[in-house]
Structure 1
Amino acid sequence: MKNIVVTLALAALVILGYSFKSSSEISPGTQEISFYKGSLKEAMVRARKEKKIIFLDIYAVWCGPCKLLKNTSFKDKNVSDYFNKNFVNLEIDGEKGEGKELVKKYGLKGYPSLLFIDSQGNIINKSLGYYDGKELLKIAKGLK
């Protein structure tokens, strides 16, 4: 229950802060992160073949910060260029099918959960919540 309250409070703060930015400050660009369509197991095979890390976005359809992340940070040209070049990107609903198993396996406490994992499924970095494009890029570049 505490995690839900924290997530909702963070979502409210993010949305409030977002509403005060001018349109010139929010320029997501024309690209977005290209997400692999398949299972984590299939993404791990691809990551081994391409010698890349997996970026795994575990979200929920009702999650405000998840929607904000998808509509802003994931569409930021700098973020999408970097992520599409350096990672096998995968998004999975944490409340359906494989997502339920991954939430348990990785001990996730809320949404969005952003994981960087190796091709064997080991966590390199795990973050919770919304990050603007600059923050997300800083996390990703810190892995190299």
Structure 2
Amino acid sequence: MKKLHYIIAFIAFGTLLSLQKSPTNDADKINWITIEEAVELQKEEPKKIIMDVYTNWCGPCKMLDKNTFQNADVVEYINEHYYAVKFNAEGNDEVTFNDKTFKNPNYDPAKANRRNSAHEFARYLQVRAYPTIVYFDEEANVIAPISGYMKPQQIELYLKLFNTDKYKEMDTQEKFNEYFKSFKPTFKE
């Protein structure tokens, strides 16, 4: 009978622990901001921008959030070297970029979590698939949009390629292929 009490107490204690909300640590999360905030911050402290262009209905976008943007190595690298922007490519936010205002005039609130009209800003950035990660230089010029889901070690290649400016040396596909083959990832999966 005494063993049963210990087992019940152990289960109850475990249940209480699992119900407690773990403290959130901002160092464990990417510091997402708007594109307008990122451009303003660049004026004081130049850094590149990484923009996660997603939609609410996109499965691979959710996987990117869960598996890649929660990875400690990815979080640390992005927070240190980039301004990070999240942008809903089918949302209804008004965006001001390069002195132009972008909207989604055909946005349908009834389709907020389904396929909706593409935002003018997503079209401007030439985003054609989700997720797409758009990289900008320190003056908010687009470097490249990279489409598709990426695991931490896959995104690491691009994060370091653009952050170190090695992309400027790659005027041919062959040079990128050489970089790709020689790249040694350090992020944990």
Question: TM bucket by the smaller chain?
Answer: 0.7 to 0.9
Q: How many residues align?
A: 113
TM-score, scaled to structure 2: 0.56
Aligned-pair RMSD on alpha carbons?
A: 1.6
Change in Cα spacing, 1:48 to 1:103, as seen in structure 2 (3 Å) is same
Does the residue aligned with 2:121 lie in a helix, a strand or coil? helix
Check whether the contact 2:46–2:139 (CA below 8 A) recurs between aligned residues: no
Q: Give 1:91's aligned residue.
A: 86
1:39-76 deviations in Å (ceiling 9; x for gaps): x2221111232110011011000000000000010011
Structure number with greater CO (CA < 8 Å, separation at least 6) is 1
Partner of 1:33: 30
Larger Rg: 2
Residue identity matched to 1:129: G
Per the alignment, in what secondary structure is the counterpart of residue 126 of structure 2?
Answer: coil
Length-normalised TM-score, structure 1: 0.72
- Runs of 5+ in structure 2 lacking a partner? 1-26, 96-102, 104-118, 165-189
Residue 71 of structure 1 corresponds to 66
Identity of aligned residues (%): 26
Q: Secondary structure at 2:28's aligned position in 1?
A: coil
Find the residue that maps to 1:75 and give its secondary structure: coil
Corresponding residue for residue 5 of structure 1 = none
SS in 1 for 2:90: coil
Structure-1 residue corresponding to 2:154 = 135
From 45, 48, 72, the counterpart of 2:43? 48
Structure 2 residue aligned with 1:123: 142
